[in-house]
A and B are shown apart, each in its own frame.
Chain A
Amino acid sequence: MTKPFNQGLWNKALRRLRRNKMAVGSAVVLLAIGLLCVLGPLFSPHPYDEIYWDSMGIPPNAEQGFWFGTDANGRDLFVRTLIGGQISLMVGLAATAVSLLIGVLYGATAGYLGGRTDALMMRLVDVLYALPFMFFVILLMVYFGRSIFLIFVAIGAVEWLTMARIVRGQALSLKGRAFVEAARVCGVSHFGIIRRHIVPNTLGSVIVYATLTVPQVILFESFLSFLGLGVQEPLTSWGVLIAEGAAQMETAPWMLLFPAGFLAVTLFCLNFLGDGLRDALDPKST
């Protein structure tokens, strides 16, 4: 039986991660939030788009089942926060995963191959950077119509550029290291070198950057929704809820506090988990 690549690394990383209490705690909290967002709406007495004309903007109230209160339109904020969480987490994680995949491969390839290939690949990145993002999104919407899927594509298409630059810089310095040259002399293929020698050594900064990307994407999505290009009423997301809540901050603070609290806790946990992962993936840490 052959051993899959780097099984040792991942096993050990998991063991190291388990010893990091902050990271484990964060992972548990994230999982809880995720499960709550997915399962919570099923157990709530109120659907997310039902308008209760007699209870608009009321504060949290357990008797009526409005645990987080209702919003200005009389919809149950608890369910809406969880539904919004589904959208935000999905957008955040999926777009980050897409940007990770493309950015890391693209950047590592450009940096490792170097020379003219690198110049061409990075000029393409520059050109894409220079495209006005809004213009790009509007173009997509016009051609393909509006859908959640397009938001992933649009955000992923922008986020991978920075990732590619970061990884390319690292790959450039890594390819001069002796172990990469040794692999070349041993006749390992270019793809093998990128996969085994370049990418694993960029993991540290990639993971940290990825944990920074998730909140960025979530905020991005709320911006798009605010402009009417993202999720549409009655569907919602944390970004949209926070924007609405901020408008009512003085009269009805719960409309801001609940979604913002969820977002903040999620981002905190992501950061701790990211730090923990980075340390866990570094074989030097004991």
Chain B
Amino acid sequence: MAVMLETTIAPGHYGPYGGRFVPEALTAALDQLDREFRAALADESFTHRLSELERTYTGRPNPLTLARRFSEHCGGATVYFKREDLNHTGSHKINNVLGQALLAERMGKTRLIAETGAGQHGVATATAAALLGLECVVYMGEEDTRRQALNVARMKLLGAEVIPVTTGSKTLKDAINEAMRDWVSTVEQTHYVLGTVTGPAPFPEVVRTFHQVIGREARAQILEAEGRLPDAIVACVGGGSNAMGLFSGFIDDPEVQLRGYEAGGSGVETGKHAARFAAGTPGVLHGARTYVMQDEWGQTVPSHSISAGLDYPGVGPEHAWLHDTGRATYTPINDDEAMEAFRVLCRTEGIIPAIETAHALAGAMRLGRELGPDSIIIVNLSGRGDKDVATAARWFGIDLGGAASDALSVEMAEGR
């Protein structure tokens, strides 16, 4: 076991949110992560290596794209996309994973584990593990392995072991439970690459820090393109990592509205949703105090969304604090509204977005009408939609016929 200093680092809080609610067995590993994280950020060889990987491997900086035709569907507001979908592996997730994988290497750990919902974080983790020569195990809810079969195949091609989780609701929440159980048993050689801005301290801060590059680039790019800051920035919020990355670049600019869109599922009133702010209450889940979908006894209520990546009953604790302080606003977007935005984007800009991202696009369509034609909005285009083609084809009634890939046929045959 790595040498441990005889100190305890005060866990991070965001107002009443955050903290560290975990078995004592994990305290030492979280303290170690906290120390190594801070030491790494102060170490030029680490930050240089990370930025070189971002430039030469991820493909950063990615562009800020003016969406002329999509803007027409947003009340004439000028809409820009921050193109995280153009990153290697197809989403923002790689930003955090490269940072954490380098941290793992620095801590002398040889095995990465991760949870994944839509599979984007799992793919990114499998990618980083391959790149650095680390072992990789990804926990994924059985339900999600079916609806995101393509990403399961990608992870396996990259050499990762994918373990379907059959407990509880068989989705992201249960994958996190399983990853935590693995971690507590293997912590000496294993780093848990948590995929979003939640979990016990210091994870929310670690993940946010590695995604800040999104906001940093976007801020510089919009100033260059428009000579001024945007009126609003928009992101979808599952755990909330892509949103936190974008928000971080503008959080100190009070004139910029921060808008997060969570999954309204079939509608908040139906109970089948993942709208933590619209219908959740403060509680503790997966190591952090935050907004949680829970019943009157504190039992977690299963979430529902067409988007596996937003299908999570908790949310990052910093978002909870931004919500309570009023600095950011969170609004649910139902499945049908998200899928309409998905369709519009495909046809107006030639970009197939992830269904997660489609929630942010739907938000921008609403918000643009509210803010009017003189406004400027940046949407975080957090991921591309290749993984969602089967779901979208089914939603829009597209006959895949004989051209369907095996993965698609399996999904269609199962009626999913």
Query: Are A and B co-members of a single complex?
Result: no
